Amino acid sequence: MRALLLVDIQNDFVPGGALPVPDGDAVVPVANALTPRFGLVVASQDWHPPGHGSFASAHPGRTPGEVVDLGGVDQVLWPDHCVQNAPGASFHSALDVGGIDHVVRKGTDPGIDSYSAFFDNGHRKDTGLAAFLREHGVDEIVVCGLATDYCVRATVLDAMGLGFGVTVIEDGCRAVDLAAGDGERALGEMRSAGAAVIPADEFV
């Protein structure tokens, strides 16, 4: 069985948000068009407590884009974003949330970030997503969302490592591209790991 996984399609990750992904809102109509085609739709939601360790504001003298050690792993520092119960953490207003069957919240531990919808960045704690999917007979996931080079990439690579088949909807994702070409490199890495990367109009 296939399930659709919508990664972090939240207000803070689209233009006008605290951490806008360029053209990030363009993934919403792609996600909405795919949603009715699946019997199970899961959405991940970045859900940080105030003062999360991935925020540059939690590290005096540091600025977004710098890298620090957080929980024993390299951590890019970001602007404060997707703070629990704040408007920026909500799903995009145009996203078909009525079609979402299950939400996985991540990034809740202030001491380590969680790009992946499956694990924190140190792979010490899982979110319960893998068990949920298996309980529902899912062996393949179709992924779209934000951002290609961070949370989508981490989610896809973890899914492959857990034995799920993965299809990435390329035009249903957008990249941060902190360094030029990061998004394309991430897509290449996902392909190399065995994921199919296709445009939405080729998905059957």
Q: What gap in Å lies between CA 121 and CA 9, rounded to an integer?
A: 19
Query: Is 178 within the bounds of a domain?
Result: yes
Query: Is 57 within the bounds of a domain?
Result: no
Which domain covers residue 84, as residue numbers? 2-48+79-202
CATH number for the domain spanning 137: value is 3.40.50.850
Which residues are annotated as catalytic?
Answer: 8, 106, 151
Q: What gap in Å lies between CA 175 and CA 152, rounded to an integer?
A: 9
Query: Measured on CA atoms in the order 130, 134, 135, 137, is the torsion positive or negative?
Result: positive
Please give the average pLDDT of every successive group of 10 residues along the chain, which has 204 residues: 98 98 98 98 98 97 96 96 98 98 98 98 97 98 98 98 98 96 98 98 92
Q: How many DSSP H helices and E strands does the chain contain? A: 4, 8
Query: Is 55 within the bounds of a domain?
Result: no
Count how many domains the chain has: 1
The whole-number pLDDT of residue 204 equals 84
Query: Is 72 within the bounds of a domain?
Result: no
Query: Is 71 within the bounds of a domain?
Result: no
Query: Is 112 within the bounds of a domain?
Result: yes
Query: Is 69 within the bounds of a domain?
Result: no
Query: Is 54 within the bounds of a domain?
Result: no
The whole-number pLDDT of residue 145 equals 98
